[in-house]
């Protein structure tokens, strides 16, 4: 088993970042979601495109909200694993993504994220978050 890297505090901050990312997007707290990323942070998805920087991430949020068509979404992020190297980290996790509408829950996607993280002013943020979808 590989050695666990990073302090207990850093590891907790990173796990909290993973959780807040999902909670914020699901609750339409888009500014908080954008702040999960560094100023030059990138969100990249095979179906939703590549969006770099806070302005582009805000624009993405507006379009993403429209795509829900009145549904509630839920991101379930599990099996979070990462390595910390100073002020940088690399991580991965699994994603289970649901749409809920009219009392019906539908599994929309299963996949995960590949992440590059950076510590900025004492806070961990995503520098590059790449979605992958299992086929």
Q: What is the pLDDT of residue 68?
A: 76
Q: How far is CA 112 from CA 24, 66, 79, 122, 131, in A?
A: 17, 23, 10, 26, 6
Q: Is 8 helix (H, G, I), strand (E, B) or coil?
A: helix
The CATH code for residues 8-133 is 3.10.450.50
Global pTM reads 0.94
Position 69 pLDDT exceeds 80 = no
Max Cα distance, the chain (Å)? 47
CA distance 35 to 5: 24
Tell me the pLDDT band of 70, cut-offs 50, 70 and 90: confident
Domain parsing of the chain, residue ranges: 8-133
CA distance 121 to 44: 24
pLDDT tens string 25-35? 999 999 999 99
CA distance 2 to 11: 15
Phi, psi of 130 (to 5 degrees): -115, 120
Tell me the pLDDT band of 65, cut-offs 50, 70 and 90: confident
Q: Is 54 helix (H, G, I), strand (E, B) or coil?
A: helix
Q: How many residues does the chain have?
A: 135
The CA-based angle 91-18-42, given to 5 degrees, is 70
Tokens of 19: 């959780």
pLDDT tens string 101-135? 999 999 999 999 999 999 999 999 999 999 999 98
């Amino acid at each position: 088993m590989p050695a666990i890297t990073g302090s207990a505090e850093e590891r907790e901050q990173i796990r909290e970042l993973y959780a807040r990312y999902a909670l914020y997007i699901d609750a339409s707290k888009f500014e908080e979601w954008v702040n999960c990323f560094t100023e030059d942070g990138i969100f990249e998805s095979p179906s939703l495109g590549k969006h770099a920087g806070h302005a582009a991430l805000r624009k993405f949020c507006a379009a993403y909200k429209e795509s829900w068509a009145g549904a509630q979404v839920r991101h379930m992020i599990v099996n979070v694993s990462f390595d910390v190297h100073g002020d940088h980290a690399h991580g991965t996790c699994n994603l289970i993504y649901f749409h809920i509408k009219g009392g019906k829950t539908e599994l929309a996607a299963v996949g995960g994220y590949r992440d590059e993280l950076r510590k900025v002013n004492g806070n961990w943020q995503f520098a590059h978050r790449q979605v992958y979808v299992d086929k």
